[in-house]
Amino acid sequence: MLMPVIMSGGSGTRLWPASRRQKPKQFLPLVNSTTLFQDTVQRLEGVPALGNPLVICNEDHRFMAAEQLRELNIAAEAILLEPVGRNTAPAVALAALHACQSGDDPLLLVLAADHVIENQSAFHQAIAQAVKAAENGALVTFGIVPSAPETGYGYIQTGGQLDASGSMAVQKFVEKPDAETAQSYLDSGEYLWNSGMFLFRASSYLEELNRYRPDIMGACRKALGTERGDLDFVRVDHDAFAACPDDSIDYAVMENTALARVVPLDAGWNDVGSWSALWDIGSKDQFNNTSHGDVVSHDTSNSMIYATKRLVTTVGVDNLIVVETTDAVMVADKNRVQDVKAIVNSLKAEGRPEVDQLVHVYRPWGHYESIASGDRYQVKHILVKPGEKLSVQLHHHRAEHWVVVSGTARVTCGEQVSVVAENESVYIPIGEVHALENPGKIPLELIEVQSGSYLGEDDIVRFSDLYNRV
């Protein structure tokens, strides 16, 4: 069996302001109507002997991962929750150990959740080649056939010709080069871009990890030794995993092992690592512009204009990236988009909420959006999915007034349970135990007006919760 391992722990800061810590790029529909995470899962359809995906993500993203799989009608083998980020070597060790618990020893296809691959057929062919090598004990990485002297990627120097399986020996891994060195790599024909995708048998990876990094292996064994199920998720021991060294698969294993092989991949791969990368793969108009949302441009060329909520217009500009979200606008020279991380770091240093949260905040029961706020009041638009329920809770510092816009709400307020229909409302006093649920078949939408001396999200005392939140 071939088990996909989808690594979905990245924060995507270089695609700010669309990508935020609470909803990073892999969970956004940046290229088409589905998200990068969903595209990663869907492009595997048709691969022989394919098992259900094993997803690795952090605590904050667990419900988004589960919901986006549900939208595809795909069941996860498991959703492993990393208590803290420790890079790819420990993350994949958790996946491999978990996969072997039932006595199986599957082949693991390790993929990042935020890559674009345009040629699905070529990708499937590369997987078939890698499977042949992995079945013989090799640790296979996928090397991207370079199309330019790219300085933003690491490289793999190949050794010799393709063998019968379609893989090649690995001479060495090299760091991101300068422009002159990258050009020499391209001219030699011996180098491939390092994609960060792998295929190997679970036991083979664990044996080599234990050989070269027994400290990582020991920490992961200890962390998984106390794993416990939580709804769709698997939790590991926080302290044990936090004590694990931080290292990548390349550094921990692939640069050391004698079992490394590489399969060349020429399939329109892009790691969507910047706004300029999105411009590269986007459809262009006659002036070489790509746009998203409500955009009107005049005398504009070689630019990307990305609008989410409002009309965005440009006049007389060239080579720009313009991104608009509800709470932020970013304008950058297309050749300087890597420096977006400097903006994110500045905002983080100032404690600005725009680093982490979008105005649209996702919860396991649905989502909400703050639409107005001031001294002692806040107004939210709330959507609750059919059959879902918010926690039974109370607030010490605020009262709430709910007005149902569409759908039907079942409201618990103290000892009273009532059904509130469209154009009806209910009042929740300060300190009253209450709950909100959608018993219907369509989404419940309501306007919530909060009033009180403190309106922070941490003014919640939960008594019970379907989603096991603290």
In a domain, 353, yes or no: no
In a domain, 382, yes or no: yes
Output DSSP code: residue 389.
B
Instruction: Give yes or no: residues 446 and 336 share one domain.
Output: no
* Collapsed DSSP state (helix, strand, coil) of residue 90: helix
Instruction: Give yes or no: residues 189 and 298 share one domain.
Output: no
Instruction: Give yes or no: residues 252 and 342 share one domain.
Output: no
Instruction: Identify the domain boundary among 223, 252, 270.
Output: 270
In a domain, 469, yes or no: no
264 upstream amide cis, omega within 30 of 0: no
Instruction: Identify the domain boundary among 316, 348, 380.
Output: 348
Rounded Cα distance between 80 and 59, Å, is 9
pLDDT of 455:
93
Pairing type for strands 191-201 and 155-159 reads antiparallel
pLDDT of 361:
83
Pairing type for strands 290-292 and 260-265 reads unpaired
Residue 302 region by backbone torsions, left for phi larger than 0, else alpha for psi between -120 and 50, else beta: left
CA terminus-to-terminus distance, the chain: 37
In a domain, 115, yes or no: yes
Instruction: Give yes or no: residues 158 and 104 share one domain.
Output: yes
Residues of the chain scoring pLDDT < 50:
none
Q: CA 168 from chain center: how many Å?
A: 31
* Collapsed DSSP state (helix, strand, coil) of residue 223: helix
Instruction: Give yes or no: residues 74 and 22 share one domain.
Output: yes
Instruction: Identify the domain boundary among 348, 379, 399.
Output: 348
Instruction: Give yes or no: residues 292 and 426 share one domain.
Output: no
In a domain, 10, yes or no: yes
Residue-wise burial string across 300-309, b where 16 or more C-beta atoms lie within 10 A, e elsewhere: bbebbbbbbe
Pairing type for strands 461-464 and 409-413 reads unpaired
- Which residues are within 8 A (CB) of 27 and not within 5 positions of it... i.e. 6 or more apart? 35, 36, 37, 61, 64, 65, 68
Rounded Cα distance between 109 and 105, Å, is 13
Instruction: Give yes or no: residues 288 and 400 share one domain.
Output: no
Instruction: Give yes or no: residues 65 and 105 share one domain.
Output: yes
Judge contact between 27 and 61, C-beta under 8 A.
yes
Residue 416 sits in a domain of what CATH number?
A: 2.60.120.10
pLDDT of 470:
66
pLDDT of 9:
87
Q: Could you give the number of structural domains in the chain?
A: 3
In a domain, 70, yes or no: yes
Instruction: Give yes or no: residues 294 and 266 share one domain.
Output: no
83-127 tens-digit pLDDT:
999 999 999 999 999 999 888 999 999 999 999 999 999 999 999
Residue 146 sits in a domain of what CATH number?
A: 3.90.550.10
Give me the DSSP letters along 300-326: -BS-EEEESSS-EEEES-BSEEEEE-S
Rounded Cα distance between 208 and 194, Å, is 20
Q: Exposed (0-12), middle (13-18) or buried (19+): which is 5, by Cβ within 10 Å?
A: buried
In a domain, 381, yes or no: yes
pLDDT of 401:
98
Instruction: Give yes or no: residues 404 and 279 share one domain.
Output: no
Domain hosting 322: range is 275-348
pLDDT of 161:
81
pLDDT of 310:
94
In a domain, 354, yes or no: no
Instruction: Give yes or no: residues 123 and 204 share one domain.
Output: yes
pLDDT of 207:
98
Q: What is the pTM of this model?
A: 0.90
Q: For the chain, how many residues are written?
A: 470
Instruction: Give yes or no: residues 56 and 132 share one domain.
Output: yes
